Structure 1
Amino acid sequence: MDSRNCLPELLLPVGTREMLEAAVNNGADAVYFGVPHWNARGRTEDFSFEDVRDMIRYARIRGVRTFLAMNVLVFERELQELPEFLEKLISLEPDAFIIQDIGLARLIRAICPNQEIHASTQMTLASAESVNAVKSIGFNRAVLARELSLKEIASIKAATDLELEVFIHGALCVSYSGQCLTSENFGGRSANRGQCAQSCRLPYRIFVDGKEYRETDAQYLFSPHDLCALPKLKELEEIGVDSLKVEGRLKSPEYVAAVSRAYRKALNGTSLEAKDMEPLEVLFSRGLTTGFLEGDNHQELVDGTFSNHHGLFLGTVVKVDRGQIIVGLDSAISDIAPSASSGSSRMFPRPGDGILFENASLGISVGSRLYAAQVTHLPHAKRGDPKLLKLEFGREFDTRQIAVGMQVYRNDSPALERELRKTFTDREQLVRLPVTMTLSGKIGEALKLSVYDTPKNAVEVEADFILEAARNSENRSKNEADKAIRELAQKELSALSSTAYQLKHLDIQVDRDAFIPGKILRTLRQAAIEKLDEKRTEWKPLNPSAETGKKFLDETRAKFKSGVSTNGAPTASGISSAGGTTHPIISVLVRNPDQIAALEGLAIDRVIMDFDWGVKYDDSLQQIRELGFKAGMATLRIHKPGESHYLKNILRLAPDFALVRNLGALSILKESGIPLTGDYSLNAANSASYDWLLSQDLSTLHPSWDLNSTQLFDLLENIDGTRLELTLHQYMPAFHSEYCAFARALTTGRRFPECGKICTKHWVEILDHKGERHFLQSDAECRNTLFVGKPQSALKLLPRLRSAGVNHFRLEMLTEDAETVRRKVLIYTQAIQGKITIEDAIREAGIQEKYGLSEGQLFNESTWQDRKK
């Protein structure tokens, strides 16, 4: 038995065919790559169906599983057109699909009930309750959120039997995956559609209480270090994590080779050396940390002084001469630096390497190719003084740009890349499966060749050739005859360099007087290997059917048209699509108890409380009811192990309804008897998603903010509009983060309570590269949300929404004072009631806003075209 079967699966990213070969030949157990035309990494190669079929076959022959990533939201019109596409895709026989969209997952299940599907990290799965919720949909595995600690992962593992996958290496996002609208809001490109522009990696300026804050070096405030879980690998194994995932479909094949090799070595129990870590930093690194695996450490997670690839830190400039620079070596490099004569260490910079010089405080970065490097000493150096490194450059490099004190990094190495490239291009270094061959035959019978790598993978082929006696057989001894046959057979049958195999053992059971032409042996070998390939690529019958997918979609639409929800209950709030009450239901979300009194006497129906850390709900709940409104409480946007106290508070207070923002909270609250409504963070983008979410006791559901107006009305054609709620006014959440930018920029605290609750003491705004300001807020679990400073208004859509049957509207406040809250709500309620025109309402609403009013993504009809097309 292969010992690797007892270990967690090592899962590598594939953006090109070369990356696949790099992963397979350096120890990957599984790989994942993008679906043709649905690749969620817009800048990677878009494979054809033929490419995918060939790549799956290549991997499966070598015992490596293949997962197709289709981890994006799917809009209604797209969903209706997918059945034939998915039938064809499933017929390519991938091991599994990685899915974000609930509707897409259900459609795949309808087309092929036995197709394995994995719940993407884009589903924001951070608790056992959320994991078990996706299990009920039919997912076989959950890819956990990257913000979980080892303790939290262990807690989830103990409470579910679903397979768990955890990220172990690569880029960390500042936002919870699936909850980020930064790229969309700042650049018009949706991360939930695989088009992230990495707006979080840009520089930002910080304003505290209205004044620019300069007492921090955190210019790149939202750009985390990269993740490296090698120090925590053993603990992840002990927890029982099923799959260990590496991020990086946009990286190079050499990067994939280096990461695969290091983690394979560690998983196999071999101690890692400095040379194993070297390429992980040199090829691509923003600095390696263990991320959230050890819990929150806001100071360590984000350096703040850079956002780009930096590479391996060498040391600090101590002296500059013409054409050469003296660097005081970092202790980690100093320990293994070679002598001037040996030059033996792989960690040591090599000629041609890229060297980066940086002064972060001044924003200076200068790079050049290295000509030569050697260890040196300054005059009068004492024993025990740090080693120094002399770097020499070509004449074209102006060393006057370099100053003492600048940090020095090695961020590129052509020589190192060449070595890594050989691991998947040099036939002598490729990983091959050992096979045993048996050549058998008697004179007068057909020659046979059997081949197997394991007993279950045994094949046999028979030559179209009857063995005859050799003409000179009487002149040869038995030993000579045996030797001749063996040498010929060994030569011809071991010629496997173009295959996935190598000959481990050859058994010859042939009459010694037989004559065997070499051509026959070559033909037998080729036929046997082809048959073994077929044996190793045999796949379970799945029988995908586009027709069953179409039937599922038709039935889903029919449920909505009937006016009855998925669980058989009438439509929301007594409002029927077939008639009855059609007056609009208006909800106002407040984030401060002081905003509640301003709503007195206004034409609204419900108030949703979404308060900060430590704010009590009891009095506010009673106040809202006394004003004649229904009182609701919003759940947090994330639910993690040990964080159910907030939900218990909802259960204790029994509000008139709850606004549910994550699958974990939905799982806990759905049988509470408290009426529930679903928020946009559940990422419902199509009728099949709506159908399932509403079946979980939600009365209404807010669509994902990834939809523009065209996609929204496509959705409304196939669902009951009375079950949809839309926010007409809000400050859009750019991202929602476990990382606390308040703590990083304004304190030295690693986590709460070391931060001193700084978020409660100051008003913080972030200035982006376009000169626009945005509001930074914290929630009851210290998580940060960056709200876009210019609020979005959907007032222009109001007449069409009413015609489509939409009756539930929401207005969200942020930090407005009571008087401003009242003015805003009055404008919108008058527009909804038809007392003022839409045009007048938009104009009046814009006057109330400090930074103006936006139409946001709802009116963005552009389609971003990626670079490769």
Structure 2
Amino acid sequence: MSVHIDRQEVELLAPAGDWECMRAAVANGADAVYFGVEKFNARARANNFTMDELPEIMAFLHMYGVKGFLTFNILVFENELDEARQLVEACVDAGVDAVIVQDLGLVRMIREISPDFPIHGSTQMTITSAEGVEFIKPYGLSRVVLGRENNMKQIRTIGEAAVMPLEIFVHGAICVSYSGQCLTSEMWGGRSANRGECAQACRLPYDMEVDGEVKPMGDVAYLLSPKDLAALELVPELIEAGVSSFKIEGRMKSPEYVANVTSKYRAAIDRHLEGKPVEPTMEEMRELEQSFSRGFTHGFLKGTNHRKLLDGTYPKSRGVFLGRVKEVLKDAVLCELIGPVKRGDGIVFDAGDPTKNEEGGRVYDLWCGEQKIEGEFPEGMVRIIMGRNDVDVTKIHPGNRIWKTSDLKLDKRLRQTFETEKPYRVFPLAVRVAGSLGEPLRTWWTDMETGNCIYKESELLLEQAMKRPMDEAFLEEQLGRTGGTLFELEKLEVHLKGELIVPMRELNRLRREAVEELEDERRKPPAYTKRSIRVYADAHQYKPQALKPELTVLCRSMEQVHAALECGIGRIYADFEFIKQFPEAVEAVRAAGPGHEIGLAAPRIHMPGEGGYFRNILRLKPDAVLVRNTGALQAFLESGKENPAEPMPELVGDYSLNIANHKAAALFLEAGCSWIVPSYDLNIQQMTDLMERSDTSRMEVVIQQHMPMFHTEHCVYCTFLSEGTDYTNCGRPCEEHRVSLKDRVGFSHPVRVDDGCRNTVYNAIEQSGAEYLQHFIDLGVSRFRIEFLEESADKVHEVIKLYREAMAGRISGTQVWKTLKATNQLGVTRGQLTR
């Protein structure tokens, strides 16, 4: 079924990290702009705006007919809810067109404040299926930003099934991990990606270890660093697939970048809607690369092709590839170019190691044979002379790649689009004039885009014209003098009885005041309902119940399952790489007899067409299911409604649901979770704050684990251990080999796959929260989980025994931690709980 979208339904959404970027977006055709303020947004290191600027920002945007969306796309901790309330109220007052939200607890609070204030579900919500969209519908979201991993077929399927406007990223940096599911920055440096403080660990070099041996990779070291997304040529297909908002990444990019990318996508969208070809020219693509590019890819939009997703030889923006060095001369470099270059361009000579200083600078002169090139040299063999102090030619070698890193002429042209005294846009104005002799001149001024109408009449009465009367041509000339304003006279109706006139100053006054009032009307914020709330009115000081604490264990091998059963563990979760391994675990636990329960882990991601995974889990009749995304939760809840006679397993909302405050905890428990697991982003104080206002009797705390850092659609097994492009032709090396990524410090982080061929990179070092066991018990937590990864049966026995001793009060949590550190060659860390 073809999805038809009208022009007004296709939105181009541009980023703005500061005022210059915002002006660049508006000047170059953005329909909407997204931006953040000081604290609550996923670009903490951007310049950002202040809360006090919101009225000014929205007045500016609305004046030009542009919508403004505030990014609120991070987790909100318990002690921040009141501050978050203040920002939401400021957004309502300022007329922000929507907030982009990750935290479902925040969604709940926004709805308490205002039932009609628009909310968009951030890509940080990790919504990748129609079921995920259905889950958030009851909370009044009006749009969802799908994961970057969805392809066009899936986008169409989701749009048709869920019937909600869909927003997707079409240009800019790609996170290698699913948004909202990257814990690397948090694990290694306390800088949470769920808090806008991503440390970009994916852009670091890694060695690839295969079955314990380092695999020689040549100059390929950036195994997790994707190219940048560029979907310019896919605009027609995306529109036909039902995409209603085209989002450009880049709130930390320059205003020139914003101007460049926005103008290119504006032109492509308009060309398609006018029935014209969209295919970008080579020059357009070079200009896009020039502003910022790690190399371009379609990402996953055209389907999975791991080999095209990343280059692996560099992690940063390189600009435009120009060619290679042929020969190094005494005072010049002879180059063979495939792209244009001119004097003043910035270039760099790439020797193959981006970690070292590279030679480069501005082009001083160009010579082709004996001819000096004055303009732009298109391509071919040319001698490049650099600025006197820019390069050391002894460090440049034949074969080095050459990149154009800057183009001053292009930057100047882009800046001229928004560094201007003139209005960025003008809008059609309709004027109706009427009157009779001896009456005031009556005028109606209509903003034809908004429909706003201003009535003005003259202070002086109409008189008989002695010379030139006010005919239509005269009035069109006088009333059309709107230069420098937002309006341009497009339609004039004259209904004057007789040959009449008023003084010219009256016409000027009427025109000036009418235009000013129409501009003021544009600046007015939309009116939303706003209620005064007490943030913690719905929070209860739960009285901790004196329950006997129990251990649950998550196993990733049958050896671990048997070891856990030998230790008498009551509930075991099986989190195997392949669903075909589940029946053996279920059978083993059932054979252990009463008092033993089996839980099965659902995938961390749910894509369209993967519902069979949930049906297979239910056929095995587990006692519990670890639910790791809202799509899976919705699927299990729907299955329970469709088959009320069938016993349903307990649904345990796992850490990846990102529960960080009591409102989110209550939402998931009310939605149908029997148990919930707090987000891994919380430190000990934030955990305490959450627990003091939540029902801890239904809370399971992961007390030891290998942190799952990256969870990604990008498969390193397929990319680097096969010649294939995806699971259909890779030969399944994951079933024969074990891969780890070795970082610069020397730690090897295991990479595991799942049935969806997604990779999870686990931290090499175990994390223990044993020191806080008694504290959590005192707060009413009675269920604690240990997660194993590659541990042997003996290690499983040892770890379980230590924690049982601690829970019984025979040893301290500190002793547990110290003992594990002494017996594990990698050591363990107290992890994020200590911060």
- Which of 166, 171, 181 is residue 169 of structure 1 equivalent to? 171
Matching of residue 645 in structure 1 with residue 631 in structure 2: no
Q: Report the residue type matching 2:537 in the other structure.
A: D
Give 1:392's aligned residue: 385
Correspondences of 1:716-755 after superposition (within 5 Å): 716-755=691-730
- TM-superposed CA distance for 1:393, in Å, is 1.4
The alignment-based identity, stated in percent, is 37
Matches within 5 A, 1:278-677: 278-330=286-338, 333=339, 348-360=340-352, 365-373=358-366, 387-396=380-389, 397-427=391-421, 430-438=424-432, 444-454=438-448, 457-462=451-456, 465-467=459-461, 469=463, 474=466, 476=467, 478=468, 481-482=469-470, 490=477, 493-497=480-484, 499-505=485-491, 514-518=501-505, 520-537=506-523, 540-547=526-533, 550=535, 553-555=536-538, 557-558=539-540, 561=542, 579=545, 582-613=547-578, 615-628=580-593, 629-670=596-637, 671-672=639-640, 673-677=648-652
Q: Distance in 1 between matches of 2:558 and 2:823?
A: 21
> Are the equivalent residues in 1 in contact too, given 2:573–2:601 (CA < 8 A)?
yes
Following superposition, the deviation at residue 835 of structure 1 comes to: 2.9
Q: Which letter does structure 1 place at the counterpart of 2:725? A: R
8 A Cα contact 1:369 1:393, kept in partner: yes
Query: What CA deviation, in whole Å up to 9, does each residue of 1:295-350 have, x standing for no partner?
Result: 221111011100111111111222222333233233xx3xxxxxxxxxxxxxx323
Residue by residue over 1:666-717, the C-alpha shift from the partner in whole angstroms, topping out at 9 and shown as x without a partner, is: 1111353111111100001111111111122211110011111101000111
List runs of 5+ in structure 2 lacking aligned partners: 372-377, 641-647
CA displacement at 1:81 relative to structure 2:
4.5
1:77 and 2:79 correspond:
yes
1:566 is matched with none
Determine the structure 2 residue equivalent to 1:381.
none
1:31 is displaced (CA, Å) by 1.2
* Counterpart Cα distance in 2 of 1:635 and 1:591: 13
Could you tell me how far 1:825 is from its partner in structure 2? 1.7
CA shift, 1:204, in A, is 1.8
447 and 849 in structure 1: CA distance in 2 versus 1, 3 angstrom threshold: farther
Contact 2:59-2:524 at 8 Å conserved across structures: no
Report the AA paired with residue 214 of structure 1: P
Q: Secondary structure at the residue paired with 1:173?
A: coil
- Greater mean alpha carbon deviation, residues 646-655 or residues 759-768: 759-768
State the Cα distance separating 1:754 from its structure 2 match. 3.0
The structure-2 alpha-carbon separation of the partners of 1:362 and 1:155, relative to structure 1 and needing over 3 Å to count, comes to closer
Cα drift, residue 278 of structure 1 = 2.6
Write the distance in 2 (CA, Å) between the matches of 1:769 and 1:657: 40
CA contact (8 A) 1:132 1:162 kept: no
**What are the superposed Cα offsets for residues 182-232 of structure 1, whole Å, 9 maximum, x if unpaired?**
111122211101111212111222233333322343211111000011122
CA distances 1:569-615 after superposition (whole Å, capped 9, x unpaired): xxxxxxxx675x71112111011112222224425221100111364
Distance change in 2, residues 1:847/1:391 (3 Å): same
The aligned amino acid for 1:10 is L
Q: CA offset at residue 139 of structure 1?
A: 1.1
Relative to structure 1, the CA distance from residue 509 to residue 367 in structure 2 (aligned partners, 3 Å threshold; closer, same or farther) is farther
Q: Which of the residues 8, 19, 22 maps onto 2:21?
A: 19
Structure 1 residue 363: Cα displacement? 5.9
Query: How far, CA to CA, are the matches of 2:452 and 2:530 in structure 1?
Result: 29
In structure 1, the residue matched to 2:101 is: 99
Paired AA for residue 587 in structure 2: Q
Q: Is the 8 A contact 1:457 1:536 kept in 2?
A: no
Q: Is the 8 A contact 1:764 1:775 kept in 2?
A: yes
Amino acid at match of 1:323: D
**TM-score normalised by L of structure 2:** 0.91
Q: Which is further off, 421-430 or 692-701?
A: 421-430
Q: Deviation at 1:90?
A: 0.9
Q: 2:160 aligns with which of 143, 158, 183?
A: 158
Among 659, 667, 688, the alignment partner of 1:692 is 667
Q: Could you say what secondary structure the match of 1:66 adopts?
A: strand
Q: Residue 830 of structure 2: which of 855, 859, 867 is its match?
A: 855
State the distance in 2 between where 1:203 and 1:455 align: 52
Seen in structure 2, the aligned counterparts of structure 1 residues 455 and 845 have a Cα distance that, compared at 3 Å, is closer
Aligned in 2, Cα 1:361/1:33: closer, same or farther, shift over 3 Å? closer
Whichever residue aligns with residue 542 of structure 1, its letter is Y
Rounded to whole Å, the distance in 1 between the matches of 2:666 and 2:679 is 14
Q: 1:674 to 1:362 in 2, by over 3 A?
A: closer
Q: Residue 540 of structure 1: CA displacement?
A: 4.6
**TM-score, reference length from structure 1:** 0.88
Alignment correspondent of 1:255:
257
> Does the CA-based 8 Å contact 2:38-2:44 persist in structure 1?
no
Instruction: Write the distance in 2 (CA, Å) between the matches of 1:433 and 1:322.
Output: 59
Instruction: Indicate whether 1:826 and 2:784 are aligned.
Output: no
The answer for the alignment partner of 1:273 in structure 2 is 281
The answer for the alignment partner of 1:804 in structure 2 is: 779
What residue in structure 1 maps to residue 374 of structure 2? none
Q: What's the offset of the Cα at 1:827?
A: 1.4
Match for residue 774 of structure 1?
749
User: Retained in 1: the 8 A contact 2:626–2:654?
Assistant: yes
Q: Which amino acid aligns with 1:536?
A: R
Contact 1:359 1:406 in 2 (8 A): yes
> In structure 1, what is the Cα distance between the partners aligned to 2:313 and 2:17?
29
Contact 1:446/1:462 (<8 A) preserved: no
Number of aligned residue pairs: 806
Contact 1:463 1:524 in 2 (8 A): yes
**Most deviating of 408-417 and 745-754:** 745-754
What secondary structure, in the 3-state scheme, does the structure 2 residue paired with 1:315 have? strand
Aligned partners of 2:71 and 2:100 also within 8 Å: yes
With 655-664 and 613-622 compared, the bigger mean Cα shift is at 613-622
Read off the aligned partner of 1:462 and give its amino acid letter.
K
Report the aligned-residue RMSD: 2.6
By how many angstroms is 1:386 displaced? Answer: 8.1
Structure 1 residues 771, 138: CA separation in 2 closer, same or farther (over 3 Å shift)? same
455-464 or 839-848, larger mean C-alpha shift = 455-464
SS in 2 for 1:355: strand
Task: State the match for 2:196 in structure 1.
Answer: 194
Q: Is the 8 Å Cα contact of residues 457 and 532 (structure 1) preserved in structure 2?
A: no
Distance in structure 1 (CA, Å) of the matches to 2:161 and 2:449: 37
Matching residue's letter, 1:63: G
Alpha-carbon shift at residue 244 of structure 1 (Å)? 1.2
Distance 1:490 1:373 in 2: 53
* Shift of residue 443, structure 1, vs aligned partner: 5.3
1:458 & 1:362 partners in 2: Cα distance? 56
Q: CA deviation at 1:85?
A: 3.7
